[in-house]
Structure 1
Amino acid sequence: MFAPGPNSPIKNTDYRVVLPFYAYAALSFLLATIIISTDVGAFTQSHFNAKALAVTHTMALGWGTMMILGASHQLFPVLIEGKLYSNFLAHSSFILGALSIPLLIYGFYTFNFGVLAQTGAVGINLAVIAYLLNLSLSIKDSKSRNVHAVSAFTAVIWLLFTTLIGLLLLFNFQHPFLPEASVHYLSLHAHMGIIGWFLLMVVGVGARLIPMFLISKYENKKTLWWVYGLINAGLTLYIYVFFTDNHAILSLAPIALIAIALALFASFIYKAYQKRIRKSVDEQVKTSLLSVGMLSIPLVVILAFVILMANWGHRQFLTLYGFSIFFGWISAIIIGMTFKTLPFIVWNKVYHKIAGLGKTPNPKDLFKSNLFMGNIIAYVLGFMIFCAGILLTDTVLLNIGATLLLINAVLYNANVFFILFHQAKLK
Structure 2
Amino acid sequence: MLTGNNHNELVKTTTHKVVVPFYIYAALAFLVAAWLLFTSSHTFSQYYFQPQLLAITHTMALGWGTMIILGSSHQLLPILVERELYSNTLAHFTFAFAAVGIPMLVWSFYTFNMLWPAQSGALLINIAVLLYLINVTASILKSQHENIHAVFVLTSGIWLFITTLIGGLLVFNFTYNLLPKDSLHYLSLHAHLGITGWFLLLVIGVGTKLIPLFLISQYSNTSLLKWIFALINAGLLAFVFIFLFIQLPFLFLIPVALITIALVLFGYYCFKAYQLRIRKQPDGQMKVSLLSAAMMAVPLLFLLIIITMLLNSPVNTHVVLTYGFTIFFGWLTAIILGMTFKTLPFIIWNKKYHAKAGLGQTPNPKDLFSDKVFNGMAISYLFGFCCFAGGILTADAMVLKTGAASLLCCAFLYNTNVLKILFHKENLS
Give the TM-score of the pair, scaled to structure 2: 0.97
Opposite residue 411 of structure 2, the aligned amino acid is: A
Q: 2:141 matched to 1:154?
A: no
Paired residue total: 425
Match of 2:186 in 1: 185
Map of 1:381 onto structure 2: 383
- The residue aligned with 1:399 is 401
What secondary structure does 2:203 align onto?
Answer: helix
Q: CA deviation at 1:174?
A: 1.1
Secondary structure of 1:230 counterpart: helix
Separation (CA, whole Å) in 2 of partners of 1:4 and 1:402 = 42
Counterpart residue type for residue 152 of structure 1: V
- Judge conservation of contact 2:249–2:307 (CA < 8 Å) in 1: no
Alpha-carbon shift at residue 356 of structure 1 (Å): 2.8
Equivalent residue number for residue 328 of structure 2: 326
> Could you give the per-residue CA deviations for residues 82-127 of structure 1, whole angstroms, max 9, x where no partner exists?
1101110000000111011000000000011110011000000010
Match of 2:367 among 365, 376, 381: 365
Letter of the 1:42 counterpart: T
3-state DSSP of counterpart to 2:355: coil
Farther-moved stretch of structure 1 (227-236 vs 214-223) = 214-223
Structure 2 matches for 1:189-228, cutoff 5 A?
189-228=190-229
Q: Deviations over 1:375-397 (max 9, x none)?
A: 00000000000000011111111
User: What residue in structure 1 maps to residue 166 of structure 2?
Assistant: 165
CA distance in structure 1 between the partners assigned to 2:169 and 2:249 by the alignment: 28
Whole-angstrom CA distance in 1 between matches of 2:344 and 2:270: 23
Q: Which moved more, 1:57-66 or 1:305-314?
A: 305-314
Amino acid at match of 1:223: L
Structure 2 residue aligned with 1:22 = 23
Q: Distance in 1 between matches of 2:368 and 2:68?
A: 19
Give the structure 1 partner of residue 69 of structure 2: 68
Structure 1 residue ranges, 4+ long, deviating more than 3 angstroms after superposition: 3-6, 310-313
3-state SS of paired residue (1:179): coil
- Please state how far the C-alpha of 1:5 moved relative to its aligned partner: 8.2
Q: Could you tell me which residue of structure 1 aligns to residue 42 of structure 2?
A: 41
Rounded Cα–Cα distance in structure 2 between residues aligned with 1:410 and 1:125: 30
- 1:348 is aligned to 2:321: no
Task: Please say if residues 22 and 70 of structure 2, whose CA atoms lie closer than 8 Å, have aligned partners that are also in contact.
Answer: yes
Residue identity matched to 1:33: A
2:137 equivalent in structure 1: 136
Shift in Å, 1:168: 0.5
Residue pairs, 1:298-317, within 5 angstroms = 298-309=299-310, 311=313, 314-317=316-319
Matched, 1:88 2:98: no
Describe the superposition over 1:191-213 as per-residue Cα deviations: whole angstroms up to 9, x where unpaired: 11000000000011101110111
Q: 1:192 to 1:155 in 2, by over 3 A?
A: same
Query: What SS class does the counterpart of residue 152 from structure 1 fall into?
Result: helix
Contact 2:234/2:258, CA 8 A, preserved across alignment: yes
Identity %: 53
Unaligned runs of 5+ in 1: none
Aligned residue type for 1:385:
C
CA contact (8 A) 1:291 1:330 kept: yes
SS class of match (2:12): coil
Supply the AA of the counterpart residue of 1:24: Y
Task: Determine if contact 1:360/1:426 at 8 Å carries over to the other structure.
Answer: yes
2:13–2:76 Cα contact (<8 Å) kept: no
Question: Aligned letter for 1:205?
Answer: V
Per the TM alignment, residue 248 of structure 1 is displaced from its structure 2 partner at its CA by: 4.4
Which residue number corresponds to residue 423 of structure 1?
425
Deviation at 1:219, TM superposition (A): 1.3
> Structure 1 CA distance, aligned partners of 2:46 and 2:72?
35
Assess if the C-alpha contact under 8 Å between 1:42 and 1:49 holds in 2: yes
Do the aligned residues in 2 keep the contact of 1:5 with 1:344 (CA within 8 Å)?
no
Structure 1 residues 215-238: Cα deviation after superposition (integer angstroms, max 9, x where no partner): 111111111110000000001000
Cα offset for 1:246? Answer: 3.2
When structure 1 is superposed on structure 2, of 305-314 and 36-45 the one drifting more is 305-314
Matched-pair contact (CA < 8 Å) for 1:346–1:420: yes
- Is the Cα contact below 8 Å between 1:389 and 1:398 reproduced in 2? yes
Greater Cα shift, 241-250 or 317-326: 241-250
TM-superposed deviation, 1:4: 6.9
Please name the residue that 2:240 is paired with: 239
Q: TM-score normalised to the size of structure 1?
A: 0.97
2:86 is matched by which residue type in structure 1? Y
Q: In the alignment, is residue 272 of structure 1 matched against residue 273 of structure 2?
A: yes
Asked whether the equivalents of residues 313 and 391 of structure 1 are also in contact (C-alpha less than 8 Å), the reply is: no
Residue deviations 1:153-205 (CA, integer Å, cap 9, x gap): 00000000000000001000111121100110000000110000000000111
Q: Once the 2 structures are TM-superposed, how far is the Cα of residue 312 of structure 1 from its aligned partner?
A: 7.7
Q: Determine the structure 2 residue equivalent to 1:291.
A: 292
- Give 1:12 shift: 2.1
CA–CA distance in structure 1, aligned partners of residues 249 and 184 of structure 2: 21
Correspondences of 1:102-113 after superposition (within 5 Å)? 102-113=103-114
Distance in 2 between the 1:321 and 1:4 partners?
42
- The AA in structure 1 aligned to 2:403 is G
Letter of the 2:394 partner, please give it: L
**Contact kept in structure 2, 1:234 and 1:253, CA below 8 Å:** yes
For 2:152 and 2:145, locate their aligned partners in 1 and report how far apart those are by CA, in whole Å.
Answer: 13
CA distance in 1, matches of 2:71, 2:278: 29
Letter in 2 for 1:388: G
Superimposed CA distance per residue, residues 336-375 of structure 1 (whole angstroms, 9 cap, x where no aligned partner): 0000000000001111222232211111100001000000
